[in-house]
Structure 1
Amino acid sequence: PAGAIPKDGPSAGTAIATALASLFTGRLPTPGVAMTGEITLKGRVLPVGGIKEKVLGAHRAGLRAVLLPAGNARDIETIPEEVREAIAIHLCSTMDDVLERSLMPAGSGAD
């Protein structure tokens, strides 16, 4: 919006919030999961750019799942079919969605 404060790197919002949630709750991050997305103060996950490149990078790194903003659903079509078949792509609308898929259940080794 006009008058908004310029920011760099908003697509790391979900990853940073997940790291903080892991620290505060003691729940370990789920291995092999990448994520991207800007978050609002109310926990909504907003679309970001570079989805194809980010998913290709996650695939090259051997990750098994990627969490994307639901608002980026159209971008999935730009990802090569063989990559889409090899990596689980989950669309998230809120940080609750992200945390459900990105943190292991309580008591699964973090305690």
Structure 2
Amino acid sequence: PGVATGLAVTGAGGDVLFVEASLADPETGAAGLTLTGQLGDVMKESAQIALSFLRSHGAELELPVTGLKDRGVHIHFPAGAVPKDGPSAGITMTTALASLLSGRLVRTDVAMTGEVSLTGRVLPIGGVKQKLLAAHRAGITTVVIPKRNEADLDDVPVEILEKLEVHPV
């Protein structure tokens, strides 16, 4: 639990990235939100939004969020030497945190992209074609994208779309 697969655009095209989330021990760990993986300002804000959304909507999602106030949360993007920025990992961070809190694993064949708002809406992002091509190359079979990016699927080769189960949310 606490790991989710995201999709990103890099200088070389699309890429798959992983998000790891952990909770500090309430007795010995630091409080607050710790972010690592060479993240830019927009990505750091997305992490804060993901955590705020879960804190304010945890009860309705049946997640045990009451203990969060006493525990530090750490979100890490491996490949720490590679700079990362942008809002599109919001859904991935939210999912990794929800997985951690619920104790449920996120399927490894699922990847996602989308900005998340404080109310939980999944907002549109760029680079859908590159991200879906990267998902396919990595063996991902299911992809979650923002509903408002559905029109971007027209740019993705049909032979790739036939091999992916795409869920607009």
State the TM-score, normalized to the length of structure 2.
0.50
Q: Distance in 2 between matches of 1:26 and 1:32?
A: 18
Identity of aligned residues (%): 52
Q: Which runs of 5+ in 1 are unaligned?
A: 1-5, 93-111
Task: State the match for 1:12 in structure 2.
Answer: 89
> How many residues in Structure 1 have an aligned counterpart in Structure 2?
87
Q: In the TM superposition, what are the counterparts of 1:70-81 in structure 2 within 5 Å?
A: 70-81=147-158
Task: State the match for 1:66 in structure 2.
Answer: 143
CA positional deviation for 1:31 = 2.1
1:25-74, CA deviations, whole angstroms, 9 ceiling, x for partnerless residues? 10110220010000000000000000000000000001111000000010
Task: State the match for 1:106 in structure 2.
Answer: none
Q: Distance in 1 between matches of 2:86 and 2:102?
A: 25
Q: Which runs of 5+ in 2 are unaligned?
A: 1-40, 43-84
Task: State the match for 2:106 in structure 1.
Answer: 29
2:168 pairs with 1:91: yes
Q: Distance in 2 between matches of 1:19 and 1:61?
A: 19
For 1:35, the aligned partner's letter is M
CA RMSD of aligned residues (A): 1.0
Q: Does the residue aligned with 1:10 lie in a helix, a strand or coil?
A: coil
CA positional deviation for 1:9 = 1.7
Q: Distance in 2 between matches of 1:26 and 1:87?
A: 27
Higher percent of residues as helix: 1
Task: State the match for 1:97 in structure 2.
Answer: none
Q: Distance in 2 between matches of 1:83 and 1:45?
A: 23
State the TM-score, normalized to the length of structure 1.
0.76
CA positional deviation for 1:14 = 0.3
Q: Does the residue aligned with 1:86 lie in a helix, a strand or coil?
A: coil
Q: Does the residue aligned with 2:162 lie in a helix, a strand or coil?
A: helix
Structure 1 ranges of 4+ moved more than 3 A: none
